Amino acid sequence: MGIRDREGFARCLQDPDTVRRIEEDMRLAARLGVTGTPAFVVLNGVFSGELRGRDGEPCPNRRLGYHRARKTIL
In this prediction, residue 45 carries a pLDDT of 79
Distance CA 74, CA 57 (A): 27
Same domain, 11 and 42: no
Under DSSP, the state recorded for 69 is -
- H/E element holding 39? strand 39-42
In this prediction, residue 59 carries a pLDDT of 65
Same domain, 64 and 41: yes
Report the number of distinct structural domains present in the chain: 2
- The runs of H, that is alpha helices, within the chain are 6-14, 16-32
pTM across the whole model:
0.57
Listed as ranges, residues in the chain with pLDDT below 70 are 1, 53, 58-74
Provide the domain limits for residue 1.
Answer: 1-32
CA distances from 43 to 14, 38, 48, 49, 54 (A): 35, 17, 14, 17, 20
Same domain, 26 and 39: no
Same domain, 16 and 43: no
